[in-house]
């Protein structure tokens, strides 16, 4: 506690009522939460299993857990919940299965699976929209918004104003019925379902309010309506909670976040205590000044001042490069140079960008220089569609009860088994208490389904898969049998038909080959009999998949590449922000929609990740298809305090020597240096 400042200490020790800690970036909000958890356990004697802390990303939750475990002895921390809102929601659903109308082995559909279901439903509706894809995107956002606002389908239908809204509401209704029939939920349901349950069921609400003795919420500014209510219903009138947040870092409005929730709290809890923190412990003063100057251009809900005791630090560099390729080259070279000069490690560096597509150029350059890096949030191998398809077949082969795998592949490739049939299959499976795959081969299905053709299709699929299951599981050389299965369904043709380009199709086919070869290798290498079987290997792969999804665990020495959104709450000694151009940051859509303020907050989040140095880059011309288009520097660059900034490479000022440094990579030199 000694190394906290007096206001932080006050925030930690205040447990008499609801508390809101409102403070700018790097002022120790998250530190207050972790210390407070330790304080509640160590000093107040509250059992760890009665303390719940929620935050926004898995990465942040993991980091918080680690910080707490350093402060609390292992045994004492047992049962403590530190999770994302979604994981907490999932835990609640698992406890309240019956009330949620779900069965034990319910599945969670990922975004990809939901899109598939929605697109089936759209087809069925014969929607008038010419551009199916656009309509799909619009409807899925609409449904997500409804769920985040806790609006059920009936209500969506009754309040619909336009024809389009009404159509979307009907699809929403059908979508929910399908999820129910499949015994499945989507990502938004993880919050909406338990929150509605708390709202509607007094007994369950009281039970949970008793369970949650103290609740702590980080990044409070990004809660949406459903999350806000979830917090409110969990803590009840007693209001034993601490929320910390910064309205200037609210960057999820597009997902329904409402920073107004901070103001709402003062209304809901008149006894709310508000503590403001003003000292920043993270950044050198120049970086902080830059952050303050940029965000001063936004209107404010709460006034905050941030100051730092650290020295001024280096000037903030703004580097203009001729093209986006030069930009990537510059960043990679500069990073390697300064790392060598300053004897830093790779993990001290982060490269942040607005959109995932910007990572590719950087990745290529880093690879050339043999710089290890970690890309967060991009498409990892196991989340590629083709890998998920093949893995779903394999999952179903080792576990016929895996309903979400069944749903993924039943129409991949197309088997003309429509959503109406699947819904009926789901209802039948539920009534019999069996999985979807098992239901396909049950005799009773015919009477339930009515349509003869559909029954035959399902039956054929079920028996076909069972055959392959035997072939693959009982064989000492199963990989050729898996290839056989894929050729049976003409999967290669399917890939060639569905990939956007022929090259894209080749990459996908290579990926599948890579997967099958990896399975073969694992089989060859397995030492004891127990591991040398296909079932164990598939199980292992499924686990790798899960681990990949939580790859945040990896803290080896690598440069961190991620979007500005993903960087929230984190800090790095040296930060590069790339693509500081109009249309990128601020993003074109925000300029069009007049939501530049949110982009400015994103800029603020980016700047305040940096502890020691900050480098901003932009390209004068950016590749777009086969051509280059000229760019305009981001308006946020002009908002920086110019006396704290060093501009390099601006066309008007660029000296030939500088041009050479920026344009031509010192690749050979650097490689030599790296290898020395």
Q: Which residues bind ligand ATP (CB under 6 A)?
A: 3-5, 8, 23, 25-31, 246, 249, 281-282, 569, 571, 608
**Residue 373 belongs to what H/E stretch?**
strand 373-375
CB-nearer residue toward Mg ion: 216 or 512:
216
Residue 511: count of CB within 10 angstroms of its CB:
17
Partner interacting with residue 201 (select from ligand ATP, Mg ion, none; CB below 5-8 Å by kind)? none
Q: What tokens were used for 513?
A: 């080959």
Nearest of 107, 109, 168 to residue 137 by alpha carbon: 168
Q: Whole-number minimum distance, CB 218 to Mg ion, in Å? A: 6
- Among 86-94, 353-361, 552-560, 566-574, the segment contacting Mg ion (CB under 5 A): 566-574
Q: Whole-number minimum distance, CB 568 to ligand ATP, in Å? A: 7
* 29 assigned to a ligand binding site: yes
CB-nearer residue toward Mg ion: 29 or 600:
29
CB-nearer residue toward Mg ion: 32 or 169:
32
Residue with tokens 């601020």: 586
* 606 assigned to a ligand binding site: no
Is residue 535 among the annotated active site residues? no
Question: Residue with the closest Cβ to ligand ATP?
Answer: 28
| Given 96, 189, 218, 248, the catalytic residue | 218
261, burial (CB in 10 Å: exposed 0-12, middle 13-18, buried 19+):
buried
CA 43 to chain centre: 35
Nearest of 206, 182, 196, 220 to residue 93 by alpha carbon: 196
Is residue 609 among the annotated active site residues? yes
- How far is 403 from 395, CA to CA, in rounded Å? 10
Binding of residue 569 to Mg ion (CB under 5 A): yes
- How far is 347 from 350, CA to CA, in rounded Å? 7
- Helix/strand/coil percent split, the chain, to 5: 55, 15, 30
* 174 assigned to a ligand binding site: no
Backbone angles phi, psi at 561, to 5 degrees: -115, 125
Q: Whole-number minimum distance, CB 53 to Mg ion, in Å? A: 12
**Residues forming a β-bridge with 623:** 628
Q: Whole-number minimum distance, CB 246 to Mg ion, in Å? A: 8
Is residue 30 among the annotated active site residues? yes
* 28 assigned to a ligand binding site: yes
CB-nearer residue toward ligand ATP: 394 or 610:
610
Is residue 29 among the annotated active site residues? yes
CB-nearer residue toward ligand ATP: 28 or 194:
28
CB-nearer residue toward Mg ion: 187 or 281:
281
Q: Whole-number minimum distance, CB 30 to ligand ATP, in Å? A: 3
* 414 assigned to a ligand binding site: no
| Site track 8-37 with Mg ion (rule: CB under 5 A), x = hit | ---------------------xx-------
12, burial (CB in 10 Å: exposed 0-12, middle 13-18, buried 19+):
buried
- How far is 215 from 203, CA to CA, in rounded Å? 20
Q: What tokens were used for 615?
A: 């480098």
- Among 62-70, 169-177, 553-561, 569-577, the segment contacting Mg ion (CB under 5 A): 569-577
Strand 81-84 versus strand 51-55 pairing type: parallel
Q: Whole-number minimum distance, CB 67 to ligand ATP, in Å? A: 9
* 257 assigned to a ligand binding site: no
| Given 8, 30, 221, 320, the catalytic residue | 30
- How far is 117 from 108, CA to CA, in rounded Å? 13
Nearest of 13, 25, 617 to residue 278 by alpha carbon: 25
* 25 assigned to a ligand binding site: yes
| Given 219, 222, 326, 402, the catalytic residue | 219
| Given 7, 29, 601, 635, the catalytic residue | 29
CB-nearer residue toward Mg ion: 569 or 586:
569
* 101 assigned to a ligand binding site: no
Nearest of 100, 59, 85 to residue 226 by alpha carbon: 85
Is residue 249 among the annotated active site residues? yes
- What 3-state DSSP class applies to 144? helix
Partner interacting with residue 246 (select from Mg ion, ligand ATP, none; CB below 5-8 Å by kind)? ligand ATP
Q: Whole-number minimum distance, CB 570 to ligand ATP, in Å? A: 7
Q: What tokens were used for 482?
A: 């898996």
Q: Whole-number minimum distance, CB 569 to Mg ion, in Å? A: 4
Is residue 549 among the annotated active site residues? no
Residues 6+ apart with CB under 8 A from 485: 393, 468, 471, 472
CB-nearer residue toward ligand ATP: 247 or 363:
247
Partner interacting with residue 535 (select from Mg ion, ligand ATP, none; CB below 5-8 Å by kind)? none
Q: How many CA atoms lie within 13 A of 268 on its CB side?
A: 21
Backbone angles phi, psi at 472, to 5 degrees: -75, -45
How many residues are listed for the chain in this entry?
Answer: 676
* 540 assigned to a ligand binding site: no
Which residue numbers are catalytic?
A: 29-30, 218-219, 249, 609
Binding site feature residues for ATP: 23-30, 282
Q: Which residues bind Mg ion (CB under 5 A)?
A: 29-30, 569
Binding site feature residues: 23-30, 282
């Amino acid at each position: 506690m000694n190394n906290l400042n007096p206001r932080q200490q006050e925030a930690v020790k205040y447990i008499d009522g609801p508390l809101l800690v409102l403070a700018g970036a790097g002022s120790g909000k998250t530190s207050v939460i972790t210390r407070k958890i330790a304080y509640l356990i160590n000093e107040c004697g509250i059992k760890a299993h009665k303390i719940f802390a929620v935050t926004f990303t898995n990465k942040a939750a993991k980091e918080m857990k680690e910080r707490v475990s350093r402060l609390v002895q292992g045994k004492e921390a047992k049962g403590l919940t530190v999770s994302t809102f979604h994981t907490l929601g999932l835990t609640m659903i698992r406890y309240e299965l019956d009330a949620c109308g779900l069965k034990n082995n319910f599945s969670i559909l990922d975004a990809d699976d939901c899109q598939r279901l929605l697109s089936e439903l759209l087809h069925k509706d014969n929607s008038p929209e010419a551009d199916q894809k656009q309509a799909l995107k619009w409807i899925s956002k609409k449904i997500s918004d409804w769920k985040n606002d806790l609006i059920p389908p009936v209500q969506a239908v009754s309040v619909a104003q336009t024809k389009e809204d009404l159509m979307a509401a009907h699809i929403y209704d059908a979508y929910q019925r399908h999820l129910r029939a499949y015994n499945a939920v989507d990502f938004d349901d993880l919050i909406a379902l338990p929150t509605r349950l708390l709202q509607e069921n007094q007994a369950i609400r009281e039970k949970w309010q008793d369970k949650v003795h103290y609740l702590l919420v980080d990044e409070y500014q990004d809660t949406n309506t459903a999350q806000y209510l979830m917090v409110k219903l969990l803590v009840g009138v007693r209001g034993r909670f601490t929320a910390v947040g910064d309205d200037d870092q609210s960057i999820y409005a597009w997902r329904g976040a409402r920073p107004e929730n901070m103001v709402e709290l003062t209304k809901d809890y008149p006894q709310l205590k508000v503590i403001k923190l003003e000292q920043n412990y993270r950044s050198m003063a120049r970086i902080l000044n830059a952050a303050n100057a940029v965000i001063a251009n936004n209107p404010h809900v709460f006034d905050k001042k941030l100051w730092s005791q650290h020295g001024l630090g280096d000037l903030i560099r703004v580097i203009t490069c001729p093209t986006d390729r030069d930009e990537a080259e510059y960043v990679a070279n500069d990073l390697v140079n300064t790392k060598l000069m300053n004897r830093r490690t790779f993990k001290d560096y982060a490269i942040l960008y607005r959109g995932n597509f910007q990572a590719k150029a950087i990745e290529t350059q880093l690879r050339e220089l043999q710089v290890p890096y970690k890309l967060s949030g991009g498409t990892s191998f196991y989340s590629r569609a083709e890998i998920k398809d093949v893995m779903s077949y394999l999952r179903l082969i080792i576990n016929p009860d895996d309903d979400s795998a069944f749903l993924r592949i039943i129409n991949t490739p197309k088997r003309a088994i429509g959503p109406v049939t699947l819904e009926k299959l789901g209802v039948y499976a539920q009534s019999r208490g069996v999985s979807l795959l098992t239901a396909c081969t049950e005799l009773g299905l015919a009477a339930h389904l009515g349509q003869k053709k559909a029954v035959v299709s399902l039956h054929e699929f079920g028996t076909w898969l069972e055959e392959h299951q035997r072939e693959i599981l009982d064989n000492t050389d199963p990989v050729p049998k898996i290839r056989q299965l894929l050729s049976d369904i003409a999967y290669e043709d399917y890939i060639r038909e569905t990939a956007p380009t022929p090259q894209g199709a080749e990459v996908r086919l290579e990926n599948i080959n890579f997967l099958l070869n990896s399975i073969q290798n694992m089989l060859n290498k397995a030492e004891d009999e127990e591991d040398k079987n296909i079932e164990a290997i598939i199980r292992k792969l499924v686990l790798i998949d899960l681990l990949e999804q939580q790859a945040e665990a990896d803290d080896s020495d690598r440069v961190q590449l991620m979007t500005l959104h993903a960087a929230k709450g984190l800090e790095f000694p040296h930060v590069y922000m790339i693509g500081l151009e109009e249309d990128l940051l601020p993003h074109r859509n925000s300029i069009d929609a007049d939501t530049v303020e949110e982009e400015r907050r994103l800029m603020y989040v980016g700047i305040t990740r940096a502890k020691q140095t900050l480098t901003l880059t932009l390209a004068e011309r950016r590749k777009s298809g086969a051509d280059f288009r000229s760019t305009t520097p981001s308006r946020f660059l002009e908002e920086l305090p110019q006396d704290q900034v060093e501009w390099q490479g601006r066309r008007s000022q660029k000296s030939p020597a500088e041009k050479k440094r920026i344009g031509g990579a010192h690749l050979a030199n650097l490689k030599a240096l790296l290898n020395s």
